[in-house]
């Protein structure tokens, strides 16, 4: 089983380039099948989730062609709408974004069937808002045998109020409404940068979507969509992860290919606790040469502090001087890293949706397991700080959303290697001493 072996204690130094945003890519790749013409998508992150989704897209009959590692051409014109448009295999069941094919195929063909979504086990993750949105557009939704089926005679524009702010439901309903008959309004929509990116992509295919990035999105249905070439925005969370890793290891890292505005919540917290963040046009530098201070964070929908950065930031706070309080308000099960981090010497107490962190000077190396994607990245950061060796197993979660994570960290001077056997771990230990 693949795992990372890490020797901590070195500040991260140098430059790292951020990939395209996983959570934008997943919406955009699904939406690409909504035209019969070829669509070229650039800056696609080469991570497990995008590869799985592309396989599923191919599985329903679309033509998928890699132009280079990060550029993919998709042609939905080869899909046969007279099949049951069924998306199901053992891989697609494990990812969250499979549900975007529901909205995309419903929007184009008025029907589809997709395995109930998986994704990281960070909470109950209901899909009632997706269903409510599809039904408001006139679709009939049925859940049976692990599959969700949607079908409509005709999709008709509607007024949809989301009583909980949901990224997935906003994107899904937006896709389903793009070719509906008439106008759709989504109120209390999510405002994340990837919502705007998916909307911009759909508009570049001829959709008429206004207001993405605000809490009211207005969609005027169009008859059809056409081919386009589109480049995905940089990954806010990958960038944030490297920012936090630079601060936690007391390093100096230039993080390139980012949109600094998308990082404001992270920049602001890092600055509050004593790190230096310098913003350039499309990069940020994070520097730190002292012990950071405690603070409180509460996860919130964008532009608040992202839940996908909570575990990584918590690792930094677990090392900061004083007591910090981390409140997780989006997902009820996002503190699974706490038990593992405690094995590295962290002092953290979880009470409901709150973690109380009494900062320690440093961590000690340990063998830990990644419980999910961001918690896994957080444990790698902890291991980069820890004195001595650590291993992080179950890195399949980390590979869902970080492209060449170990390689990028090695480029910043980290002592980290991907290994499979105890013999390889021993070899690494002998090599780095
Ligand atoms: C593939 C992808 O883009 N995943 C991201 C997406 O997940 P995802 O789209 O699943 O997250 P949502 O924004 O939908 O979830 C936000 C909250 O709404 C609740 N909810 C959601 C849908 C629904 O029908 N009913 C309902 O109650 C959820 O339980 C959660 O408490 O946004 C999350 C919040 O930024 C991120 O952590 C995930 O990385
Ligand atoms: C939780 C995440 O992804 P998903 O919604 O795909 O599980 C994430 O990206 O942190």
Q: What domains can you pick out in the chain, each with its CATH number?
A: 3-18+234-432 (3.65.10.10), 22-222 (3.65.10.10)
Decide: 282 and 257 in contact? Cβ < 8 Å.
yes
Angle in degrees, CA 253, 258, 260, rounded to 5: 90
Pocket lining: 96 vs ligand 2, CB cutoff 6 Å: yes
- Cα(118) to ligand 2 centroid in Å equals 10
pLDDT, one tens digit for every residue, the chain (433 residues)? 899 999 999 999 999 999 999 999 999 999 999 999 999 999 999 999 999 999 999 999 999 999 999 999 999 999 999 888 888 888 888 898 899 999 999 999 999 999 988 888 888 899 999 999 999 999 999 999 989 999 999 999 999 999 999 999 999 999 999 999 999 999 999 999 999 999 999 999 999 999 999 999 999 999 999 999 999 999 999 999 999 999 999 999 999 999 999 999 999 999 999 999 999 999 999 999 999 999 999 999 999 999 999 999 999 999 999 999 999 999 999 999 999 999 999 999 999 999 999 999 999 999 999 999 999 999 999 999 999 999 999 999 999 999 999 999 999 999 999 999 999 999 999 999 8
**Is 120 designated active site?**
yes
ipTM tops 0.95: yes
Q: Per-residue b/e over 331-341, b at no fewer than 16 CB within 10 Å?
A: beebbbbbebb
Grouping H, G, I as helix, E, B as strand and the rest as coil, residue 410 is helix
Strands (E), 93-173: 111-115, 140-144, 147-151, 159-161
* Ligand 1 centroid to residue 167 C-alpha, Å: 5
Residues annotated as binding site? 22-23, 96, 125-129, 308, 330
Kindly tell me the sign of the dihedral angle through the C-alpha atoms of 395, 401, 407, 409: negative
The Cα–Cα gap between 134 and 342 comes to 44
Could you count the other beta carbons within 10 Å of the beta carbon of residue 299?
21
pLDDT at site 93:
85
Separation of CA 300 and ligand 2 centre (Å): 15
> Which residues approach ligand 1 with their CB closer than 6 A?
23, 26, 96-97, 123-130, 164, 166-169, 190, 307-308, 330-331
Residue in 384, 390, 137 with CA at minimum distance from that of residue 244: 384
What pLDDT was estimated at residue 88?
86
Identify the residue whose C-alpha is closest to ligand 1 atom 36.
308
Instruction: Return the residue whose CA atom lies nearest to atom 37 of ligand 1.
Output: 308
Q: Which atom of ligand 1 is nearest to the CA of 171?
A: 9
Phi (first) and psi of residue 165, to 5 degrees: -75, 120
């Amino acid at each position: 089983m693949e795992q990372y072996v890490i020797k901590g204690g070195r500040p991260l130094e140098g430059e790292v380039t951020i990939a395209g945003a996983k959570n934008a890519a997943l919406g955009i790749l699904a939406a690409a099948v909504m035209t019969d013409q070829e669509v070229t998508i650039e800056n696609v992150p080469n991570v497990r989730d995008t590869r799985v989704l592309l396989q599923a897209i191919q599985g329903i009959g679309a033509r998928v062609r890699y132009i280079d590692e990060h550029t993919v051409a998709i042609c939905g014109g080869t899909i046969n709408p007279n099949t049951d448009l069924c998306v199901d295999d053992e891989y697609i069941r494990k990812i969250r974004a499979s549900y975007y094919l529901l909205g995309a195929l419903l929007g184009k063909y008025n029907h589809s069937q997709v395995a109930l979504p998986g994704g990281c086990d960070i909470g109950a993750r209901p899909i009632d808002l997706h269903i409510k949105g599809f039904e408001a557009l006139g679709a009939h939704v049925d859940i049976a045998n692990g599959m969700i089926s949607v079908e409509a005679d005709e999709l008709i524009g509607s007024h949809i109020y989301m009583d909980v702010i949901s990224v997935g439901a906003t994107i899904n309903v937006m896709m389903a409404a793009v070719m509906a008959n008439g106008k759709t309004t989504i109120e209390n929509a999510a405002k994340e940068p990837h919502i705007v990116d998916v909307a911009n992509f759909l508009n570049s295919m001829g959709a008429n979507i206004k207001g993405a990035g605000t809490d009211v999105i207005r969609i005027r249905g169009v008859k059809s969509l056409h081919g386009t070439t589109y480049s995905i925005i940089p990954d806010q969370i990958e960038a944030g992860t490297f920012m936090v890793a630079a601060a936690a290891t007391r390093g100096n890292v230039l993080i390139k290919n980012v949109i600094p505005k998308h990082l404001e919540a992270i920049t602001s917290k890092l600055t509050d606790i004593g790190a230096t963040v310098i913003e350039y046009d499309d990069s940020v530098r994070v520097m730190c040469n002292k012990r950071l201070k405690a603070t409180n964070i509460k996860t919130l929908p964008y532009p608040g502090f992202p839940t996908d950065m909570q575990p990584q930031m918590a690792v930094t706070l677990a090392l900061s001087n004083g007591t910090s309080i981390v409140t997780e308000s989006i997902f009820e099960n996002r503190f699974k890293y706490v038990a593992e981090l405690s094995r590295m010497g962290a002092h953290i107490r979880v009470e409901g949706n709150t973690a109380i962190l009494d900062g320690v000077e440093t961590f000690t190396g340990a063998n830990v397991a990644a419980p999910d994607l961001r918690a896994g990245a957080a444990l790698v950061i902890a291991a980069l700080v820890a004195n001595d060796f650590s291993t992080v197993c179950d890195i399949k979660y980390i590979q869902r959303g970080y492209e060449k994570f170990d390689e990028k960290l090695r480029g910043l001077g980290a002592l980290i290697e991907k290994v499979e056997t105890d013999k390889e771990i021993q070899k690494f230990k002998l090599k780095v001493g």
